Amino acid sequence: MVDTNHSQSAIANSPPKRVLMGIGGGIAAYKVCDAISTLFKAGVEVRAILTNNAKEFITPLTVASLCRHPAYTDDYFWQPTHYRPLHIELGEWAEVFVIAPLTANTLAKLSLGLADNLLTNTVLASTCPILLAPAMNTDMWGQLAVQRNWQQLLLDPRYHSAGPEIGLLACDRVGTGRMAEPEEIVPWIFSLLHTGGKRDLAGKRILISSGGTREHLDPVRFIGNPSTGKMGLAIARAALHRGAKVTLVTSAALTPAPGEGIEIIRVVSAQEMQQQLLAQFPEADITVMSAAVADVKPTFYSPEKLPKRSLPDTLPLTPVPDILAELGQRKQSHQLLIGFAAQTGDIFAPALEKLQTKKLDAIVANPVDLVDSGFGSDRNQAIFLDNQGGKKAIAPCSKLQMAHHLFDFIR
């Protein structure tokens, strides 16, 4: 499921955001339909251009129906009915331009600045950020010429890239070349709408924890909590989209795709999370501890599943280390350390106390007992507090948007 919540609150009182989809000729074009549908449901205005080859895979009628607007093809480009050239109109209109699937042919043209159809002319006639989602057979993707074109194109800071992923391709090969899924592309688009394409975290290493830890009694029973890792994933994506090098230490099943560009370190327990975070921490410029770490673990662990009759009437518990407090002790002056305070009832006072006692630079006071907030929800709300007395309330919004607000706040 793609998160459709992102823009609703962002655009409630402002004009709709404008996204231009450039669709190339590849079987992955069908996935673009899903992305357009998600954007439309979130209140984004979408216009689309199909290349002649794209029309072999999906029809302009499909795309027009999803956009609630005619889909542009080269037939429109050459019609003398526009009072201004269509590629100029579309190029000026777009806030974010997405080219998906990006074929080897369109990639080659863009790397040379060639313009021989509506899509490539509109690229040259626009200045907004462009998100590229390549899709092709593994051998095509691996060609020296294709890789040279790709690297050449990415030298231009207006281009951002999603994928390609490793997976089963339409040619039945398994390898690199699969187009990024809409679940990856849509958050990228929302990030670009938020940032305008700026990479204000470029050169920064960002360490994030996510998910609820599991403290096992035996191989099948554990103490845990309802955290799903959605907030941590959103923070990781927002940081990546703003140019950072991101490592996510996670106990959640929900993780970025392997080709998304986020280093993933999987853990289960608080102790494993502590080991991994302590190892990564010295290199991190910013650390965001969004994981819901269990506070206690069963004192005894059975490596074999305990039969029901052997389960104790009362369970002896041992505290687990407070990882964030330990990071606060180790923090150097150039590092920023951000915590979360998952609270019910009064969120402010406990969050302020955690900010001070754990020696944090900022904390997210996060109500987990409200609608549109907390564990498992696609949306969240919070009050950000910093150690200088700064404070910012964030109304309910998508978790990705909350993540961007957090980076705006700490910068």
Least distance to ligand CTP from the beta carbon of 368, Å?
Answer: 9
Kindly report the three-state secondary structure assignment for every residue of 2-26.
CCCCHHHHHCCCCCCCEEEEEECCC
Least distance to ligand CTP from the beta carbon of 350, Å?
Answer: 6
Measured at the alpha carbon of residue 10, what is the angle toward residues 126 and 226, in degrees to the nearest 5? 120
> Helix (H, G, I), strand (E, B), or coil: what is residue 128?
coil
224 CB-contact burial (10 Å; exposed 0-12 / middle 13-18 / buried 19+): middle
Distance of alpha carbon 70 from the chain centroid: 30
Q: How far apart are CA 31 and CA 18, in angstroms?
A: 19
Q: How far apart are CA 37 and CA 351, in angstroms?
A: 39
Nearer to ligand CTP, 31 or 297 (CB): 297
Residue in 66, 198, 187, 61 with CA at minimum distance from that of residue 128: 198
Nearer to ligand CTP, 48 or 363 (CB): 363
Q: How far apart are CA 386 and CA 252, in angstroms?
A: 27
Q: How far apart are CA 175 and CA 181, in angstroms?
A: 15
Q: How far apart are CA 288 and CA 248, in angstroms?
A: 10
Catalytically annotated residue among 67, 128, 171, 397: 171
Q: How far apart are CA 40 and CA 21, in angstroms?
A: 12
Residue in 190, 316, 291 with CA at minimum distance from that of residue 242: 190
Least distance to ligand CTP from the beta carbon of 289, Å?
Answer: 4
Catalytic residue list contains 171:
yes
Contact 109, 76 (CB under 8 A): no
Q: How far apart are CA 365 and CA 386, in angstroms?
A: 11
Nearer to ligand CTP, 35 or 223 (CB): 223
Nearer to ligand CTP, 47 or 399 (CB): 399
Least distance to ligand CTP from the beta carbon of 9, Å?
Answer: 24
Least distance to ligand CTP from the beta carbon of 236, Å?
Answer: 15
Cross-strand pairs, 287: 207, 337
Nearer to ligand CTP, 130 or 320 (CB): 320
Nearer to ligand CTP, 272 or 295 (CB): 295
Least distance to ligand CTP from the beta carbon of 354, Å?
Answer: 5
Least distance to ligand CTP from the beta carbon of 379, Å?
Answer: 19
Nearer to ligand CTP, 54 or 286 (CB): 286
Least distance to ligand CTP from the beta carbon of 191, Å?
Answer: 23
Q: How far apart are CA 220 and CA 230, in angstroms?
A: 24
DSSP state of 320: P
319 CB-contact burial (10 Å; exposed 0-12 / middle 13-18 / buried 19+): exposed
Nearer to ligand CTP, 104 or 289 (CB): 289
| Interacting residue ranges for ligand CTP, rule: CB under 6 A | 270, 289, 291, 293, 295, 320, 322-324, 339-342, 350, 354
Write out the catalytic residue numbers.
Answer: 171
